[in-house]
Amino acid sequence: MSRVGQKIKEARTKMGISAKEFAKKIGTSESFILDVESGRKIINEDMIKKIEKTYGISLSDNIFEEIDKPVENLKETATRKMVNKQWEDAFSNIIKKIPVTDINFKEIFEYKYYPVIDKKIEGFNADKITYINAPDDSMRGFRIQKNDNIMLYQNSEIINNSISLIEINGERFIRQIKRLDSNKVLLISNSNDIKTETYDVKSVNVIGRCVKLEIEL
């Protein structure tokens, strides 16, 4: 079950309405809602927004919801922390503090600060932007090397030819994704040689799309 599907099921159950009633109000089928809840189908962002608006609920994926105490692998003096906190409080409405984490969102390496314009960062919903640190050189052919920082837009859609953070059977990795048909996708890595793997769409959970790469020279 995907996190979004789980949230939909929890919200629907809490409201005490059937999948059929829930689906009818947002103009879709009962079978589609049940497939989304079970993880057999992936819901697009437009439908997510429609559900949120219709039922007054939030399905936004909080990447730290399962982390009790994320480990901050940072070295800061007490004075620097105090100054940073003062700046954060003063500019909290126009500057967003974004963590840079490992691909499992378990360890924070640093923070980045971005201006928020019309609730967006670089044209994306500010609440769905985070950074991840590339774990290896498996995407070197795409100019992504180990320890490069990547801006990630949290979106569960499978977008053809995108480079995305993907989870399969509990394992996460960065890959280019290509749709073969409605049921199959091709995942592509490129370290020294191009490698491809074919998967059933239902087994692929997209965590987010990589939209910007930062490298150190």
pLDDT in tens, 78-99: 445 554 555 555 555 578 889 9
Q: Do 19 and 107 share a domain, yes or no?
A: no
pLDDT category, 103, cuts 50, 70, 90?
A: very high
In a domain, 167, yes or no: yes
Domain that holds residue 50: 3-55
| E-only strand ranges, 25-158 | 71-72, 95-101, 107-115, 120-121, 124-125, 129-133, 149-153
Q: Do 108 and 17 share a domain, yes or no?
A: no
pTM: 0.63
Q: Do 118 and 158 share a domain, yes or no?
A: yes
Report pLDDT for 85: 58
Tokens of 164: 């995305």
Query: At 170, which CATH number?
Result: 2.10.109.10
Residue 67 clears pLDDT 50, i.e. is over it: no
pLDDT in tens, 13-64: 888 999 999 999 999 999 989 988 887 787 888 888 889 888 888 876 554 4
Structural domains in the chain (count) = 2
Write down how long the chain is: 217
In a domain, 19, yes or no: yes
- Give the whole-angstrom CA distance, residue 169 versus residue 79: 44
Q: Do 127 and 50 share a domain, yes or no?
A: no
Query: At 51, which CATH number?
Result: 1.10.260.40
